Structure 1
Amino acid sequence: MLSRRALLATAAATAAALPTAAGTAAARSAPRALAAALPVALANNSGGSAPVYAYISGADTSGWPGFVTADGAFHRLPSPSSVLTPIPDYAIPLGASGSAPTRLTLRDYVIGGRVWFSAGRKIQFFVNPPGGNGGVPGLVQPGFTGTDPNWTTSWTFCEFTYNSANLYANISYVDMVALPVSMATTGAAGNQSVPALPSGALASIASGLRDQHAADGAPWDQLVATDAAGTVLRVLAPSHTPVDFGAYWRPYLDRVWDYYRTHTLTVDGQGSIGAYSGTVSGDVLTFAGLNTNGVPFTKPSAADIFGCASGPLYNSGADARSAVAARLAAALNRSSLLVSGGASQPSGVTPAQYYTESVTNHYARLVHRYASIGYAFPYDDVGPTGSAPVDGHLQDPAPASWTVTLGPGGGGTTPPGGGGTSAYSTVQAEDHSAQSGTQTEACSDTGGGRDVGYLAAGDWLKYASLDFGPAAPAQFLARVASGVGAGVSGAIRVRVDSVTGPQIAEIDLGDTGGWQSWRTVPANVTRAVTGVHDVYLTFEESTVEFVNVNWFTFTR
């Protein structure tokens, strides 16, 4: 089953292309493709010696499920009469790690699709009879229990929809963390990429969950799936585990409900929804003026919180109640309702305050610590207006190519048609190829990880071989924080080819409220740059340390 965010994106994409930060005015006005013809490259950059297989599944425009074969054609699944039936072998074998990608051209639109990879052995897929499914058979995908025939197979996937409106592709950790996948596209929206899970992140997340179990006794360790040798195959999201978290959330919920008996909670539905304020009466959190459609906001269960879609957190996605439920679900997963500013959701809380309670969604906490981007629960995009994006998606109204890689590639090596890392990917500051005078430190921004700090005049960071493609960027964006104090500022200057090379952008920055108080600051690109260049961030005009940098990117 697709994650809720991908389902919403798929439904919207079917009607029309959705605008994104990467979609410039030129992209939005680009002509729609008249027929399906998308070049796809499937690459093996796993670093291992095991054979790797790829699969492309989804539904055609009529909703009938099927698979794409190596010739790019979509094949409808058979419709069995009465029993669960294995499907034909639609595996697309890939070459050895580091070899040339396997290329095909999608000749049919695919809705609600997935690109799967498996290492070592093939995935077993099955088809169910139509039953009450409107006469359409059901594809049975790998599951999340030890009885599934694919349990000891190492597999992973990304999600996508390709139709006449656009290509929308997404890497998400809502279901699980497994083998790393990266993606890149070229097209009307420019060169885009999403990075793979960093090396070692899966093992670190698994280790963190085992440590958390040792600390609180909750079954976090049982989210870790291993093979017979003890190798970690995947880490399941708590919404998918067969393990019951029982009353895990009860102490936190009791504190929240008691607090809001005498305090007011305001939830901003954002957009045109408006804000609603409420208090707890009896055992119900009631918001004045909000029609709850017969589903009151009582204390949710663990399954309700982790899944964000049942009980009092039921969410149809179409009304004010659903908007409030989504923001409550996000606040509960992050345990942010009792922190300073928590009475105003989501704008009153910063990402540095997420997951600070002992009772929280520790799976999401660890995913954001070790993954640079990607949802960890269905409404992980909820946040203050203008906050840094956490989703890992690509979208293009007229895609020219799509590369999907097992391992790093889409967000860290060579994108299609390029000679280096895409300048339009999210470049982590600590991933510099050279530096002078800088240090890294633990970062409390969304996604965690490390930032580069202690930056003052004379310091610099080098990022080798950033690929700007054939068209120049319009803006440079940097995620920065400063606790330098009033009246002090400095300059971040972006240069190409050398520390003293041509300047293409500049950010002049003062205090942002703290060394971990993060802001995304844009700057216009003042000098056209195309092709592949080394990019330098130089820090100037301040005799004291004035800024920390988490990440940067360019946009057209």
Structure 2
Amino acid sequence: MFRLRRVLAAAVATLVVATGFTVSGPAPEAEAVPDTIPLTITNNSGRDEPVYLYNLGTQLSSGQQGWADAAGTFHAWPPGGSPPTPAPDASIPGPANGETMTIQLPKFSGRVYFSVGEKLSFSLATGGLVQPAVQNPDDPNRDILFNWSEYTLNDSGLWINSTQVDMFSAPYSVGVSDANGEVRTTGTLKPGGYQAVFDGLRSAGWGGLILDGPDGTPLRALSPGHGVATGGVPADVMNDYVDRVWSQYSSSTLTVTPFSHEPDTKYYGQVSGDVMNFTDGAGNVVTSFQKPDSDSIFGCYKHLDAPNDQVRGPISRTLCAGFNRTTLLTNPNQPDPDNSGFYADDVTNHYARLIHEQMVDGKAYAFAFDDVGAHESLVHDGNPSEAFMTFAPYN
């Protein structure tokens, strides 16, 4: 089924999230956003294999799932089956090493995939598209080098990210140009940063997240959210930190201010047994959280579920970010705005730590709510003239 990272899906509707990032209906310049904008793709990878592109998503005007060709023309998926049936070949030949090409992005909430060396395998279930599941050893795309960017283009502009929520793999950056030609980019690794992430995972004892290809070189590192399920990291890897958090807030208060534009909206957390209860300013309990396990923390779900509401969801997003960044013991006021103290505990999300360390701008989407405090690798413009994706060297 097609699932888009929640921050981009949020761009389609009115939403205020814990980051302070606000989308509130069409922007004043909405009429200037055309039906398609160019995506310029540059291949600086240094690799000679062919590249294949895929632009897959939901057409916002109709709500239909499908794909776009290089001209930005929408094609709806045919009906799927049970078991899933092969999807039509939606691939677009990509640029060779050292070359640049341009395709058109339509008003989609979707993903731009790219694969190196061979095409990806997609199928259609009765409910829609079945996408690659990198954590599944039986997935037909398991031995293919690929990655993707997520984007939403609508009447309020373009949101496009580089994401590592599911995996760290083929390196790339994204960018957007405004109407004046000013370009903003994100997702650019430091020189040597690609290999440094893999080396760092091994040094931290998290090398079990790394999946090698048939030639023995790394294809990707799974996120720890997938790694718990596959045995790449121990299921109890965050337990010691959680125990210390639970102990500290059994006798003190954790204050959460989930909206940067609403500094007077605060919730107060205290632990009682295995539950952390949050109260509002009047002392009313507004929501409660069971003591989370590592899987809940890395996946930002289960005991840290975040519904799209104005109370539990924003508190949960903030808690999830605090657990992953291990800032809950060092700052009782969350979210912590100072990234210099992120990932400083010995027990932390080393996957997220390493990826952020190796990004030129320090920004990444290393877990689902990495946008809390605007630390995510996302660029946005309300009147975009062009988008960019650049494949980087594997060093």
TM-score where L is the length of structure 1: 0.62
Aligned length: 373
Look up the match of 1:240.
226
Give unpaired runs (5+ residues) of structure 2.
none
What is the alpha-carbon distance in structure 1 between the residues aligned to residue 317 and residue 104 of structure 2?
38
1:4 aligns to 2:6 (yes or no): yes
RCO higher in structure (CA 8 A, sep ≥6): 2
**In angstroms, what is the RMSD of aligned CA positions?**
2.6
For 1:91 and 1:291, the matched residues in 2 are separated by: 54
CA distance in 2, matches of 1:34, 1:357: 45
Compared CA separation, residues 91 and 255, structure 1 to 2 (3 A): same
Work out the CA distance in 2 between the residues paired with 1:374 and 1:34.
27
Is 1:222 equivalent to 2:208 in the alignment? Answer: yes
Secondary structure of the residue aligned to 1:254 is helix
2:83 is matched with 83
- On the 8 A contact 1:333/1:361 being kept in 2, the answer is yes
Distance 1:190 1:374, change over 3 A: farther
Superposed counterparts of 1:278-297, under 5 Å:
278-289=269-280, 296-297=288-289
Q: Does 2:172 match 1:181?
A: yes
| Partner AA of 2:55 in structure 1 | I
1:98 Cα deviation from its structure 2 partner: 1.0
- Is 2:351 the counterpart of 1:354? no
The answer to whether the 8 Å contact 2:27/2:155 transfers is no
Q: Greater CA deviation, 119-128 or 264-273?
A: 264-273
The amino acid of 2:88's aligned partner reads P
2:315 maps to which of 324, 328, 331: 324
Pair member with larger Rg: 1
Residue type of the alignment partner of 1:227:
G
> In structure 2, what residue type is equivalent to 1:95?
P
- 1:77 aligned partner, one-letter code: W
Aligned residue number for residue 45 of structure 1 = 44
- Contact kept? 2:29, 2:156, Cα under 8 Å: no
**Deviations 1:183-216 (Å, cap 9, x if unpaired)?**
2333337522324333432321111111111xxx
Report if aligned partners of 1:42, 1:405 keep a CA contact under 8 Å in 2: yes
Residue of structure 2 equivalent to 1:363: 351
Q: For 1:22-44, what per-residue CA distance to the aligned partner results, in whole angstroms no more than 9, with x for missing partners?
A: xxxxx964351475132232332
Determine the structure 2 residue equivalent to 1:70.
Answer: 70
Deviation at 1:319, TM superposition (A): 1.8
Change (3 A) 1:51 1:266: same
Q: What one-letter code is carried by the residue in structure 2 that aligns with 1:230?
A: G
CA–CA distance in 1 between the matches of 2:199 and 2:339? Answer: 23
The superposition leaves residues 137-186 of structure 1 with CA deviations (integer Å, 9 ceiling, x where unpaired) of 33433432221111110001111112233222111222221112222333
1:337 to 328, 348, 355: 328
Asked if residue 310 in structure 1 is aligned to residue 302 in structure 2, the reply is yes
Structure 1 gaps of 5+ residues are 21-26, 131-136, 214-219, 384-388, 409-556
Alpha-carbon contact 1:188-1:396 (below 8 Å) kept = no
Q: Give the distance between the partners of 2:13 and 2:180, measured in 1 at CA.
A: 20
2:118 is the alignment partner of 1:121: yes
Q: Deviations over 1:60-114 (max 9, x none)?
A: 1322211112233111111034431111222111232112x222334x422x211
Aligned partners of 1:41 and 1:403 also within 8 Å: yes
Please say if residues 279 and 285 of structure 2, whose CA atoms lie closer than 8 Å, have aligned partners that are also in contact: no
Tell me if structure 2 keeps the 8 A contact 1:249–1:301: yes
Identity %: 34
After alignment, is 78-87 or 112-121 more displaced?
78-87
One-letter amino acid matched to 1:129: T
Question: Could you say which residue in structure 2 is the equivalent of 1:154?
Answer: 145
The 1:85/1:235 distance shift into structure 2, 3 A limit, reads same
Structure-2 separation of matches of 1:31 and 1:363: 38
Counterpart contact for 2:53–2:113, Cα < 8 Å: yes
TM-score under structure 2 normalisation? 0.86
